[in-house]
Structure 1
């Protein structure tokens, strides 16, 4: 499902050419960049109106709903000395 969303849905139901960065494909398709919206953004460390990045979409759609900044959370936890398994789980939806 993740590949479908990144290939087609986020570029206006068109097909995204292979190896084309998401933002470039959106511009070619005439689709504006996605923006974060909603009341719960502060809890996630997101800013209203901030552009949604391809990495954030990959985390949300491709990794069973991981935190949009799961990569950064995992790197921070590894730097603090957590084991890889615990660092990975820190970006999971049920992490607390």
Structure 2
């Protein structure tokens, strides 16, 4: 399953997403969801502890000026890699 988080982790039920996730699933942070990748936050600690592959869209991280504050534990990818994730994970759930 590919989960996409497009809203701030402080404006959605991230706990439910993490309870639903299974080993081998992937999470793509996009739009305001990239806020979840900020270093030093409790949200990031929860994401790292989850059994998920973690990714973020490069254009959304850059558009919000977060590059210098973004965790190196999350792979920052472009649209081509996003497409590859959708091929890898044919089922998708948007949050």
TM-score normalised to structure 2 length: 0.25
The structure with the largest alpha-carbon Rg is 1
TM-score normalised to structure 1 length: 0.25
Using CA pairs under 8 Å that are at least 6 residues apart, name the structure with larger relative contact order, 1 or 2.
2
